[in-house]
């Protein structure tokens, strides 16, 4: 299942490089990006608030905002770095693969730096010879605590 593991690593590299349009192209039409407020303890995005629960349209709006030269939150511009442990395949079916990847995420903007840790859970669907993201769930280690604004994508 090294192709799914390589996919997760490449996905993080796109974010680190600021290639957000290419990153969004990895999502299935019904793909979701989810950061539960309660972390791993939260069973679904409907029964409790989330830090983020976004479909492709909302992700595109965030990307458009990041690219807008008048976006106040991007003066100076934010940068990020993902440090990943090796992704682990948790479930492999004929049509989908679930992976868990412990990570450390650093986001910097000017003199400020944000450090987050947790586990990223990808549900990938097979689409021909490649994968698409059906869901990317980010379970933060310190979920539920007050966090500063996260400008980019974990």
Q: What is the pLDDT of residues 79-124, one digit of tens each?
A: 999 999 999 999 999 999 999 999 999 999 999 999 999 999 999 9
**Between 119 and 151, whose confidence is greater?**
119
Report yes or no on 11 lying in a domain: yes
Question: What is the Cα–Cα distance from 16 to 18, expressed in whole angstroms?
Answer: 5
* Arithmetic mean of pLDDT, 61-68: 93
- Which parts of the chain are beta strand (E)? 27-36, 50-54, 78-84, 88-92, 96-109, 112-127, 130-140
Give the pLDDT score at 75: 87
How buried is 47 (Cβ within 10 angstroms: 0-12 exposed, 13-18 middle, 19+ buried)? exposed
Contacts of 49 (CB under 8 A, 6+ apart): 37
Domain-located, residue 7: yes
Query: Does residue 75 fall inside a structural domain?
Result: yes
140-149 average pLDDT score: 86
Q: How far apart are CA 17 and CA 88, in angstroms?
A: 24
Rounded to 5°, the CA angle 154-83-60 comes to 25
The residue among 134 and 41 whose pLDDT is bigger is 134
Residues 141, 36: contact at Cβ < 8 Å? no
- The pLDDT value recorded for residue 15 is 98
pLDDT at 34 over 80: yes
Binning pLDDT at 50, 70 and 90, where does residue 147 land? confident
pLDDT on residue 39: 87
Taking 90 as the threshold, does the pLDDT of residue 135 lie above it? yes
Structural domain contains residue 40 = yes
- Decide if 145 is inside a domain: no
Whether residue 110 is contained in a domain is answered as yes
For residue 153, tell me if it sits in a domain: no
Q: Can you give the CATH number for the domain in which 12 is found?
A: 3.10.450.50
Which residue range(s) make up the domain with 23?
A: 2-140
pLDDT of residue 149: 84
d(CA 102, CA 99): 10
In the chain, the number of structural domains is 1
Specify if 28 maps to a domain: yes
């Amino acid at each position: 299942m090294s192709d799914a593991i390589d996919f997760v690593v490449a996905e993080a590299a796109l974010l680190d490089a600021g290639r957000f349009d290419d990153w969004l192209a990895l999502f299935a039409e019904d793909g979701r990006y989810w950061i539960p407020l309660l972390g791993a303890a939260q069973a679904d995005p409907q029964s409790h608030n989330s830090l983020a629960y976004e479909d492709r349209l909302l992700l595109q709006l965030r990307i458009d905002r990041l690219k807008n030269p008048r976006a106040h939150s991007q003066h100076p511009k934010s940068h990020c770095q993902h440090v990943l442990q090796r992704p682990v395949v948790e479930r492999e079916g004929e049509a989908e693969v679930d992976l868990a990847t412990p990570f450390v995420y650093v986001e910097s903007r000017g003199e400020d730096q944000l450090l987050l840790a947790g586990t990223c859970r990808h549900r990938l669907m097979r689409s021909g010879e490649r994968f698409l993201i059906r869901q990317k769930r980010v379970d933060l280690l310190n979920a539920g605590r007050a966090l500063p604004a996260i400008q980019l994508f974990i």
